[in-house]
């Protein structure tokens, strides 16, 4: 059992408190990686093999929690809890994977659906919206402003690309 660090005598009480919260979260709420053949998984994201049934749970190597929404091999999975990390993970990442960066004021990020970059998430992703085009009367300045706004919403992960 891990003993919590003393924040009163620490020179960095915020960091120590954060570490304590992460330790409690994993210990109390059981977010240890799912065991595969008796060994904690090293996979980031949902399982990619094995037979799974509806409502099975999976905790990946980073602590992201997943629920099986469709029985199968390997089943269909929905992330129900982001992984809490202090750096953007590297390696093979599932599309749409969500992390929360504890070191960046609890900023949430989502792996870009194109699988190329992490993007900050400030809400749920909504359906794609096309750029402003066409029409019989063109206001170029308004069109530019609208398209810039749409681009910003895509970059923040609020609109699908």
Q: What is the pLDDT of residues 9-35, one digit of tens each?
A: 878 787 777 777 766 665 555 567 888
The tokens describing 117, both together, are: 């970059």
- CA–CA separation, 5 vs 96, rounded Å? 34
**What pLDDT sits at residue 67?**
93
CA distance 2 to 142: 58
pTM of the full predicted structure?
0.58
What CA–CA distance (Å, rounded) separates 84 from 106? 9
pLDDT at 27: 54
Supply 41's token pair. Answer: 């998984």
Bigger pLDDT: 116 vs 64:
64
Angle made by CA atoms 84, 27, 16, in degrees to the nearest 5: 60
Cβ proximity of 79 and 98 under 8 Å: yes
């Amino acid at each position: 059992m891990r003993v919590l660090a003393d924040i009163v005598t620490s020179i960095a009480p915020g960091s120590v408190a954060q570490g304590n919260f992460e330790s409690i979260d994993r210990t109390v709420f059981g977010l240890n990686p799912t065991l595969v053949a008796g060994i904690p998984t090293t996979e980031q994201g949902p399982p990619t093999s094995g037979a799974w049934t509806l409502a099975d749970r999976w905790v990946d190597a980073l602590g992201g929690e997943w629920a099986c929404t469709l029985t199968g091999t390997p089943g269909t999975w929905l992330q129900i809890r982001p992984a809490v990390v202090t750096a953007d993970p590297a390696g093979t990442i599932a599309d749409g994977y969500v992390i929360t960066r504890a070191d960046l004021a609890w900023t949430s990020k989502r792996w870009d659906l194109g699988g190329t970059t992490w993007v900050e998430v400030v809400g749920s992703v909504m359906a794609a919206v096309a750029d402003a085009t066409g029409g019989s009367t063109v206001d170029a300045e308004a069109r530019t402003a609208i398209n810039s706004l749409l681009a910003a919403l895509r970059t923040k992960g609020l609109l699908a690309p």
